[in-house]
C-alpha cells in the first residue's frame, strides 16, 4: 500500500475491493477465493498441473507476481502447480491435457481473440477460469483472492504453502561455492561463441544444433529456460521460448536468473520430477565489486547459477544442459540461428 500512497492513488478505492474479498472468504461458501482454490487443487488431482495464466496488457505484471506466489507456495514434497506465464497464446488444439487456464483481464482491454480461445478451450474439455476486473482498483482484491486461494490449494495438496525449503537449498549451495570457489567443469565441446556443458550421460552429438534437437526430444513434462543474463541487453534470448515450445509441443517456462530462484525455482527442485532444464550463462565484460564482500557481482551470479545446477542435478529428467556464451551478442545470434 505504501507505493500506492506515494503515487497518490485512491487508497480507499483500492481497499474497498479487498475488504469485500475478505468478507466473501469469511462466509459459509468461501467465495471466489475458494472457487479458485478448488480449480487449482482439482487440476493437480486430475493431472492438470500446468496452470497457464493469460492476462490483458496492463495486467502483465500480475502474471509475474502470480507465478512467484503459486510456484514457490505449492512446488514442494514432490507435488505442486507450475505456472506458465507470458506464453504467447496458441490454438486451443495445441494444448495437451495436463493444462488448466486462468484468463485475467481489465474490462477496458477485452480481447476478442482471447475470449474465443477461452471458449474453444472449454469446448474441448479444458478447465478454464475467466476473471474480468471492472477497473484497475479491483487488482488489490484479486491479489488477496489469489493469496487465499493458493494457501487453500496448499491444504488440498497436503503441503505447507508458507515454507520454501528448496530455495534455501540453492542459497546454501551458493554460499558454499563462494567460499570454496566455482566448481571445475569441462565443456563437452565448443561451437562458435558457445561452450556446452552437460551433467548427464554424454550425448551422441558434438555440434550445437543436433545437441539441442537431441535434448528437446527428451522433454516430457515441461522445459525450463533459465537465463543468467541481462534481461535488457540480452532480451533477444527470450525469442527461444516460443520456438522451443513449438518444437517440443510442451509447456516452456522462461526465467531470468537469479530472479526465478524465488518463483519457479522452488517448483523446479521441490515439485514433481518431470522437468528438463536449459541454463544459459554468459561471459561478464564489465564486472563490479560488492562493497564489504571479497567477490564481485559477476562471481556472485556465477555462484548462484552453479548452486542451482547442483540442486537440480539430482532432479532433472536427463540432466541439466548449460550453454555458456563466451560472447553474448554473438552467442545469442548463433543460438537463435540453430535452434530447431
Q: 165-210, pLDDT tens digit by residue?
A: 888 888 899 999 999 999 999 999 999 999 999 998 889 999 999 9
For residue range 106-126, list pLDDT tens digits in order: 999 999 999 999 999 999 999
Q: Is the pLDDT of residue 12 over 80?
A: yes
CB 319 within 8 A of CB 278: no
pLDDT at 288: 96
37-46, 51-60, 316-325: which has the minimum mean pLDDT?
A: 37-46
- Entry pTM: 0.93
- What fold, for 2-157? Rossmann fold (3.40.50)
What is the maximal distance between C-alpha atoms in the chain?
63
- Which has the closest alpha carbon to 323: 196, 208, 206? 196
CB 302 within 8 A of CB 229: no
pLDDT at 30: 65
Distance CA 305, CA 298 (A): 11
Same fold, 2-157 and 165-338: yes
pLDDT at 92: 97
User: What does the mean pLDDT of the chain come to?
Assistant: 93
Rounded CA Rg of the chain: 21
CB 41 within 8 A of CB 48: no
CATH classification code of 165-338: 3.40.50.10490
Q: Is the pLDDT of residue 58 over 90?
A: yes
- pLDDT band at residue 257 using 50, 70 and 90 as cut-offs: very high
pLDDT at 28: 60
Distance CA 256, CA 239 (A): 13
Write b or e for each residue in 198-234: b if 16 or more Cβ atoms lie within 10 A of its Cβ, otherwise e: beeeebebeebeebbeebbeebebbbbbbbbbeeeeb
CB 257 within 8 A of CB 228: yes
pLDDT at 18: 87
- Helices 60-74 and 139-157: crossing angle in degrees, nearest 10, is 20
Domain boundaries, the chain: 2-157, 165-338
Residues 6 or more apart whose Cβ sits within 8 Å of residue 180: none
pLDDT at 50: 96
Distance CA 75, CA 257 (A): 18
Distance CA 191, CA 196 (A): 8
Distances in Å between the Cα of 175 and the Cα atoms of 90, 256, 287, 295, 298 are: 41, 20, 19, 12, 15
- Which has the closest alpha carbon to 39: 151, 155, 149? 149
Distance CA 123, CA 116 (A): 10
Please write down the HEC assignment for all residues of 13-46. Answer: HHHHHHHHHHHHHHCCCCHHHHHHHHHHHHHHHC
Distance CA 166, CA 261 (A): 9
Amino acid at each position: 500500500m505504501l507505493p500506492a500512497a506515494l503515487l497518490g492513488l485512491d487508497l480507499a478505492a483500492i481497499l474497498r475491493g479487498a475488504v469485500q474479498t475478505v468478507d466473501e472468504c469469511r462466509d459459509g461458501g468461501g467465495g471466489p477465493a475458494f472457487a479458485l482454490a478448488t480449480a487449482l487443487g482439482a487440476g493437480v488431482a486430475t493431472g492438470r498441473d500446468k496452470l497457464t495464466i493469460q492476462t490483458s496488457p496492463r495486467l502483465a505484471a500480475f502474471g509475474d507476481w502470480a507465478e512467484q506466489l503459486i510456484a514457490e507456495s505449492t512446488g514442494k514434497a514432490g507435488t505442486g502447480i507450475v505456472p506458465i506465464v507470458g506464453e504467447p497464446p496458441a490454438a486451443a488444439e495445441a494444448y495437451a491435457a495436463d493444462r488448466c487456464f486462468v484468463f485475467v483481464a481489465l474490462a477496458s482491454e477485452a480481447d476478442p481473440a482471447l475470449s474465443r480461445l477461452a471458449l474453444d478451450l472449454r469446448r474441448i474439455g479444458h478447465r478454464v477460469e475467466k476473471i474480468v476486473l471492472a477497473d484497475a482498483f479491483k487488482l488489490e482484491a484479486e491479489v488477496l483472492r489469489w493469496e487465499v486461494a493458493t494457501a487453500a490449494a496448499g491444504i488440498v495438496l497436503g503441503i505447507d504453502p508458507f515454507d520454501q525449503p528448496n530455495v534455501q537449498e540453492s542459497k546454501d549451495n551458493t554460499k558454499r561455492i563462494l567460499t570454496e570457489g566455482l566448481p571445475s567443469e569441462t565443456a563437452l565441446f565448443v561451437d562458435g561463441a558457445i561452450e556446452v556443458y552437460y551433467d548427464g550421460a554424454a550425448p551422441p552429438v558434438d555440434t550445437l544444433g543436433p545437441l539441442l534437437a537431441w535434448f528437446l526430444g527428451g522433454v516430457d513434462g515441461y522445459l525450463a529456460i533459465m537465463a543468467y543474463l541481462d534481461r535488457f541487453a540480452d532480451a533477444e534470448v527470450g525469442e527461444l521460448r516460443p520456438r522451443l515450445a513449438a518444437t517440443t509441443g510442451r509447456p516452456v517456462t522462461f526465467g531470468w536468473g537469479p530472479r526465478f530462484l524465488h518463483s519457479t525455482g522452488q517448483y523446479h527442485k521441490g515439485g514433481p520430477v518431470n522437468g528438463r532444464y536449459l541454463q544459459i550463462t554468459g561471459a561478464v565484460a564489465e564486472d563490479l565489486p560488492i562493497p564489504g564482500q571479497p567477490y564481485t557481482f559477476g562471481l556472485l551470479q556465477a555462484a548462484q547459477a552453479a548452486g542451482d545446477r547442483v540442486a537440480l542435478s539430482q532432479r532433472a529428467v536427463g540432466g541439466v544442459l548449460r550453454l555458456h556464451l563466451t560472447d553474448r551478442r554473438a552467442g545469442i545470434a548463433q543460438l537463435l540461428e540453430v535452434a530447431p
